Structure 1
Amino acid sequence: MYNEIDVKYIKGAFWGVLNSSILNFRKNYLKNLVLNIIENDGCFIYVYNFISQLHTEKEELEKCGLVIDELIKRGQLIFISAQKKYLKEGVLQVENIVKFYEKLINNCYKKGYKKVIIYGIIDDFYNDKMDLDIIYEYHKKIKKFAKEKEIMIIKEYLIDNFTEEYFYRLVPLHDVFIIINNDSVNVFQIDNPNEIELFYKYLRILYLDKVELYKENKKLELLNELILDISYKHNSRHLLESALEKICKVVNADFGLIFTYLDTDFNLESIIKYNLPYEIDKYIANQTLDKNRFREEFKQGIKIYDDSQLENRLINQLGIKSLVKVPIGKDENNPIAFLILASYNSKQHFYHHMSFLKAIGNTILALLDKQKQIEKHQADLLRAEKFKTLGELAGGIAHDFNNILTTIIGLSQLLLYQVQDEKIKKNLEIIYNSALDGKAIVNRIQKITRKRVSSNKKAILLNSIVETSIDMARPKWKNIYDVKGREFTLVKELNSSSYIYCDVYEIREVILNIILNAVDAMEDGGKLTIRTYDKGNKAYVCIEDTGCGIPDEFKDKIFEPFFSTKESRGTGLGLSIAKNIISSYNGSIEVESKVGVGTKFIISFNRYQKGGKYTDEDSILPKFNGLNVLIVDDKAHVAYSLKKMFRIIGIESDIETNSNNVLKRLSKKKYDIIVCDLAMPKMNGIRLSRQIKSIRKDLKIILMTGWPNDLDEQDLSEIEYIMHKPCTIKEVIKAIKSVIDKEKKLGGKENVVN
């Protein structure tokens, strides 16, 4: 045996090199040989199986300072594709290969190159193309060819692809064998009895190392597969099922279990099973798992048990010899899962895999955390897609709902001006305020669907909002408690004198939502206390019930979207919306609760400081004299409610439900103002306004729409005013005044407002 520095060109020699695709160290001995051959007018022939080998070899030779293209042109450097020259229809052609090389070597000699080396690699390229007998015969021929032509042939074998039997049969054909092991290169003379004996010892060690390396490689492959699994597994359970099966196969466990936990108290979430014996599966199903035992074992870390330590009678009956428990968690106080593997072999079986099992525990922990993030992301995407669909649907619903609310608001408001009976008037106020709240809800839907709507903020007495909220909630608790015969007490202590600047419908929605939640919490009756008071520059609303209370673990979640303790009865949006509304006014909403005692919500507002009190409704309505209005809306009930509103303020109006008939009506009667809906089936309000203006430039057009900010500037060129549906009498008056103010003399008429 001698070192690589002694490796020189030898005529007629057939050398073998044993290497590994895993180690694959660069071959300095080859570099020295090639340089020696090229410098001494020789020829180097490199046979490659894959194009990647060709690129790699060229790069290595260029690093040696060789000019590849020039050497190829001179014929000193020859690259040959085994795919093209060795095979015919996928079969190795031994005779043809020898003839090809004979012709090639003769050509090299004619050019004056006396030293020739042929270098090739035997790897998995040949696995399905020849058996051991064929390659043995092939090697016998090329050994003979090397001697006859006085050239040197070197074959590199990748140990990964061949068995010991393979090498034991091929080794005697070689003159010299080189073993590359880690950083050392050992050269053996095969015809030397001492060296051949040493060579076979080396070879045996390499194959034993290969087996262990293979096992470790399989473990690394498993870790890689687990990491790849997360990209397509649907959820954590599927990931764990795949992981458990792979782990059992790699460590040769006969069956396995993974217990996953919901919390640090070891409350069981699920049990993942692989190849579990029926008897054990049945035993687990009928047993209450000991949380304290799991907690103690979790703190112990990875632990292996043999049959002498396994006290369970069923385990002994089944012949289980060893068992390993692997805790999976961030630390001993934060359990995520417990991996249990069992084997019918001895305890020593799992000791060989201790490092791997620790690594797999950490890997599963990281993957579960990542999987939960992916699941949350997928849920968020799904929720976003649902919201998008809901938004599109809500947009259409909002438009239709606006038409309904226009009628309810208009007619209820008209009745409020006409009815004298206080009891009826009180009920009408509830209907009217409920419809206005419906309008506010539509506005919020429009905001969600990215349609901006105008704000309706004003200064209003806080107590008046609370009073109307109580009136609107009263029918619900009367229905619940009267039907069930439960006792219910309402305590009102409205001591605030403050005004707040707000959209009254939004604040009423918040208060009403909390009151209704309190009623839901007191199914068997109770006491509801509602207080208002002032403190410093803040005004407060306090709503307190004697209901079931909120558990401590839920207090931080109640304002989160979609969190609900009402199960199917709630959406989980009420308090989330309430918090967002209050926050938008720079206010605060806090909760105090105790299970079995009750819950208290405290809402704070900034007090309105400007002077002058606000009257919610003007008691005196203006009268408009001599105006003729045409109402154009395909919804007859909407048009009718508008007609009634116009009448109460002294305006005569006609109704047209077919937009195609408008121009004909204009030819028969002179109108001062047209109030026109935007969305109509035959001709929308924009097109109609353009046609009207083409014949009547002086005619004023008020456009009604539920989407006032969804119009382009060019669409508004023929429009004098946009009125947001649903509209109140005050908004109708504002629209008419706006049109009149734009031109003091409207169609030659003066003093149209009294």
Structure 2
Amino acid sequence: MIYRLVRYNMESIYNKLFIKNKCKKLLCIETKKFNTRKYIPKIIRNSILKNLLDNKKVVIFTDSILHRKILDIYINKKNTFLTRCFENKNLNIEYYDVVDFTVNPIQFLHMLNMIAKTKEELCVIWDFKSISKRFSKLSEIKKCIEDIFSYSNKNVCNIIYIYNIVYNFKDIRKFLNNFDDVVIEYMKSQILCSCNDNIDSTVTLLKYGEELSCRDNAIFSFNNMFDKIPKGIKMDKFTCFIVNELVNICDVDFCIIHTLNDNGNDIFKLDNFTGIINEYKIYLTESIERTDFKDYLLMNNDSCIDKSLKGCLEKIGVQSCAAIHVKYFDTIDGIIYVGRYHNYISEFDFRYIKDICKASFCIIQYKYMNFNLKSRLMENERLKLMGEIGLGVAHDINNILTPIIGCTQLLKDKIDDKNLLKQLKIIEICAYDGMNITNKVKKIAKQYNKSKSEIFSIDDLILDAVELTKSKWLMESAANGIKIVVVTKLNSKAKIKGNATEIREVFINIIRNCVDAMPYGGTINIISKCIKEKVRLYVKDDGIGMSKSEMEKIFEPFFTTKGNKGSGLGLSVSNDIIKEHNGMIRVFSKKNIGTMFEIELPISKEVIKHDDNLYDKRISFNGNILIIDDRQEIRNVISNMLKSMISDCKVKNCGCENIEQEIARRRYDVVICDFSMPSINGLQVANMVKKMYDDSYFCLMTGWVGEFSKEKLNKVDFILNKPINKSDIVKLFMDYKEFR
């Protein structure tokens, strides 16, 4: 290898080239990225200065952008040598438009005319660095070089300045034969190569420098890629951004990235591509995947590869293609394809391309996790806000339910008709289901204490759910011109311990989903049976069914197949309820055949003793009762409930006006007061009552679903939560007896 490496002694390089060898055709190749402040390499700067000092003319032919920068950096400064040379016309800077260079080369023709007619000694710096970057081919530059050398007379010294990019190194040998010498600028070193002696040494050196430069540039670009990510970018846009950046970083023409299979749900499935049409993408990926490669595959069109693959590359016009198997832990596998249409991917290139592709795939999945985390945080904030709003809504619901439950129970005491009693029971069940909704608001607001468990018959509960959904599966379906039948086979006779309202809600949700899945009608079968110490329940429809992907997501929050008609919360809540009861829920479905829900719950062996007479129990009390509430209907229904249960009592109703005067007018044994009223709250009333009559019994009545601190309840003897029924009133007076 014949070349000489000189780090600092530029004088010796200049002397050898222009004084000793009389070099007229010099090629200067830059291997590093453009830097404005150090735009002109040392050998070119030395040549310019030496020629100007010798009173020779120098012309720099560069692109329009760099023309302005050179003027700003080197020329537009007062009292400098270059400024004086520029003013004296010894230094001239001509420019061209790199975009229109091959279409309208007026400036270039002007330069050719100059070098052909000049009678003075002239040094011309031909800056084709931008052209070499833009076209990535030697053919355009080669045509210019041939014209330059053919037009130049003996007085002209030409220095050609280009950038070392991914050239076809077979062509560059012929290209270098046009020059006397080559100077390669690499970092802080200048390497002088003689083209007349051993041109292979120069080509090898250029190839090595290009590979190192590409690797360094790729790593640099990859590290800086994340600074370019726009703030607030969506996940789909982020993936497209990564794919486009891979094309730039790896210096390829196209990129395809997609997933193969996955072993989990919390992954991001990809099918993105750029630089290739969809038809060719499918053809290429299917052809490569049929080879069943393991980790990676590099295919160059001139190498020994499978005939089918070679034919595939030729058909879509690809010179080189690489396929890299990528993996994100044990959750997801994928393949990234990159390729070039005109140049080859070397083994050196492929080493860093592999690492960048694998890292990019993991980064996409990691970014997806961040997107999910951010979405969940936003969803938590939304749920928190919903919870705060829900507290107020729940209070209003409880106020509405109190007269409904109270009046229903009062009517049940006076009616003997079985059909009417059945309807009243449905009203009462629905009212208690409404009360359970307010308990769920407590869960959202994180102020929930689990209600006491009860033991109930699962078969009776399912029958209640069927009855409560009758308007859906019978009446609504009939209105839509279809027929849906519910068939029950409930033989388990099992007793379950838990929240009956919540379990009933599970079956209501499932039945409603079954109805929605049968747009053409059908049958819903509900079966219960005992298996060892558990009860197994089946709800089966013969509707449209679900795909495998839909089944995997069916219990996820906000997932729905009903579009805007569904919230996506029903089955998610149902799944949580069953799990809270130490049970299990599964779904089996096939498209156009139907869906079956299987629920398994533990059978309770406990027996909870109930006071069967608590509801109808008469209360022994002889005293004065004051009921304070801003809503008249609530005051009236509680008053009627008290009078129906206590024969010897005096009940007085009072709104939120003149409360203090009413308390002072008469001593009341029991004061039942609402917590939330417009002008005063129940805790203030409690302080007022205890201040006047310390031995009065104060009951705080509230529909609020929040919790009070112990300090605030120091004047309160009993809390009566709305909605209120007769059993609650019995418990109130049982506590009153203990108080006395």
The DSSP-based 3-state class of the residue aligned with 2:456 is: strand
1:530 aligns with 2:526: yes
Alignment equivalent of 1:470, drawn from 466, 469, 478: 466
In the alignment, what sits opposite 2:57? none
Amino acid at match of 1:561: P
The DSSP-based 3-state class of the residue aligned with 2:553 is: coil
In the alignment, what sits opposite 1:295? 286
Alignment equivalent of 1:372, drawn from 355, 368, 373: 368
1:712 aligns with 2:714: no
Structure 1 388/608 Cα, relative in aligned 2: closer, same or farther at 3 Å?
same
CA distance in 2, matches of 1:620, 1:240: 68
Deviation of residue 586 (structure 1)?
2.2
In the alignment, what sits opposite 1:662? 659
CA distance in 2, matches of 1:289, 1:457: 63
The DSSP-based 3-state class of the residue aligned with 1:644 is: helix
- TM-score calculated relative to the size of structure 2: 0.64
Amino acid at match of 2:285: F
5 Å-filtered alignment, 1:40-51, equals none
Contact 1:675 1:701 in 2 (8 A): yes
Amino acid at match of 1:397: V
In the alignment, what sits opposite 1:234? 233
1:733 aligns with 2:726: no
Structure 1 135/247 Cα, relative in aligned 2: closer, same or farther at 3 Å?
farther
Amino acid at match of 2:354: K
CA distance in 2, matches of 1:246, 1:135: 43
In the alignment, what sits opposite 1:494? 490
Once the two structures are superposed, what CA deviation does each residue of 1:420-461 show, in whole Å capped at 9, x if it has no partner?
Answer: 222222122111101101111211210221112351322222
Deviation of residue 306 (structure 1)?
7.9
Amino acid at match of 2:286: R
Amino acid at match of 1:734: K
Structure 1 585/441 Cα, relative in aligned 2: closer, same or farther at 3 Å?
same
CA distance in 1, matches of 2:496, 2:242: 60
The DSSP-based 3-state class of the residue aligned with 2:524 is: strand
CA distance in 1, matches of 2:207, 2:75: 24
Once the two structures are superposed, what CA deviation does each residue of 1:312-337 show, in whole Å capped at 9, x if it has no partner?
Answer: 99x99xxx964544445437997646
Alignment equivalent of 1:391, drawn from 383, 387, 392: 387
Amino acid at match of 2:693: R
1:640 aligns with 2:636: yes
Amino acid at match of 2:233: H
CA distance in 2, matches of 1:348, 1:611: 80
Structure 1 342/680 Cα, relative in aligned 2: closer, same or farther at 3 Å?
same
Contact 2:394 2:705 in 1 (8 A): no
Contact 1:419 1:425 in 2 (8 A): yes
Alignment equivalent of 2:455, drawn from 445, 459, 475: 459
5 Å-filtered alignment, 1:587-626, equals 587-611=583-607, 614=610, 618=614, 620-626=616-622
Once the two structures are superposed, what CA deviation does each residue of 1:153-174 show, in whole Å capped at 9, x if it has no partner?
Answer: xxxxxxxxxxx99xxxxxxxxx
In the alignment, what sits opposite 1:583? 579
Amino acid at match of 1:702: C
1:418 aligns with 2:417: no
The DSSP-based 3-state class of the residue aligned with 2:672 is: strand
In the alignment, what sits opposite 2:544? 548
Structure 1 270/135 Cα, relative in aligned 2: closer, same or farther at 3 Å?
farther
Alignment equivalent of 2:516, drawn from 517, 520, 523: 520
Alignment equivalent of 2:651, drawn from 650, 653, 656: 653
Alignment equivalent of 1:480, drawn from 476, 479, 502: 476
Structure 1 580/204 Cα, relative in aligned 2: closer, same or farther at 3 Å?
closer
5 Å-filtered alignment, 1:214-293, equals 214-229=213-228, 232=231, 234-249=233-248, 256=254, 258=256, 260=258, 271-273=272-274, 284=278, 291=282
Once the two structures are superposed, what CA deviation does each residue of 1:20-67 show, in whole Å capped at 9, x if it has no partner?
Answer: xxxxxxxxxxxxxxxxxxxxxxxxxxxxxxxxxxxxxxxxxxxxxxxx
Percent same amino acid at aligned positions? 24
Amino acid at match of 1:681: P
Deviation of residue 613 (structure 1)?
6.8
Deviation of residue 305 (structure 1)?
4.6
Once the two structures are superposed, what CA deviation does each residue of 1:243-292 show, in whole Å capped at 9, x if it has no partner?
Answer: 45445455665x5454646868xx99665546x8xxx6xxx5xxx67756
In the alignment, what sits opposite 1:724? 721
Deviation of residue 465 (structure 1)?
1.5
Deviation of residue 341 (structure 1)?
4.7
In the alignment, what sits opposite 1:697? 694
The DSSP-based 3-state class of the residue aligned with 1:698 is: coil
Deviation of residue 729 (structure 1)?
1.4
Amino acid at match of 1:602: E
**Which runs of 5 or more structure 1 residues have no equivalent in the other structure?**
1-14, 19-126, 138-163, 166-180, 187-197, 744-754
CA distance in 2, matches of 1:204, 1:545: 75
Structure 1 132/568 Cα, relative in aligned 2: closer, same or farther at 3 Å?
closer
CA distance in 2, matches of 1:244, 1:545: 45
CA distance in 2, matches of 1:370, 1:348: 32
CA distance in 1, matches of 2:337, 2:380: 36
Deviation of residue 242 (structure 1)?
3.7
The DSSP-based 3-state class of the residue aligned with 1:446 is: helix
- TM-score calculated relative to the size of structure 1: 0.63
Alignment equivalent of 2:564, drawn from 542, 561, 568: 568
CA distance in 1, matches of 2:230, 2:238: 10
The total of aligned residue pairs comes to: 552
In the alignment, what sits opposite 1:508? 504
CA distance in 2, matches of 1:586, 1:351: 58
Deviation of residue 665 (structure 1)?
0.9
Deviation of residue 686 (structure 1)?
0.9
Deviation of residue 599 (structure 1)?
2.7
Contact 2:527 2:537 in 1 (8 A): yes
CA distance in 1, matches of 2:505, 2:544: 23
Structure 1 215/340 Cα, relative in aligned 2: closer, same or farther at 3 Å?
closer
Structure 1 325/426 Cα, relative in aligned 2: closer, same or farther at 3 Å?
farther
Once the two structures are superposed, what CA deviation does each residue of 1:654-712 show, in whole Å capped at 9, x if it has no partner?
Answer: 32221x52111123333221111112221111111111211111211101224476111
Amino acid at match of 1:720: D
Amino acid at match of 1:516: R
The DSSP-based 3-state class of the residue aligned with 1:330 is: strand
In the alignment, what sits opposite 1:48? none
CA distance in 1, matches of 2:464, 2:603: 19
5 Å-filtered alignment, 1:78-117, equals none
CA distance in 2, matches of 1:268, 1:740: 67
CA distance in 2, matches of 1:241, 1:590: 37
CA distance in 2, matches of 1:244, 1:475: 53
Structure 1 616/624 Cα, relative in aligned 2: closer, same or farther at 3 Å?
closer
CA distance in 2, matches of 1:550, 1:321: 43
Contact 1:398 1:446 in 2 (8 A): no
Amino acid at match of 2:222: L
CA distance in 2, matches of 1:17, 1:419: 115
Once the two structures are superposed, what CA deviation does each residue of 1:572-621 show, in whole Å capped at 9, x if it has no partner?
Answer: 22222222222222233333434333333333333332457758785623
Contact 2:215 2:349 in 1 (8 A): no
Structure 1 614/522 Cα, relative in aligned 2: closer, same or farther at 3 Å?
farther
Amino acid at match of 1:661: N
CA RMSD of aligned residues (A): 4.5
Deviation of residue 356 (structure 1)?
3.8
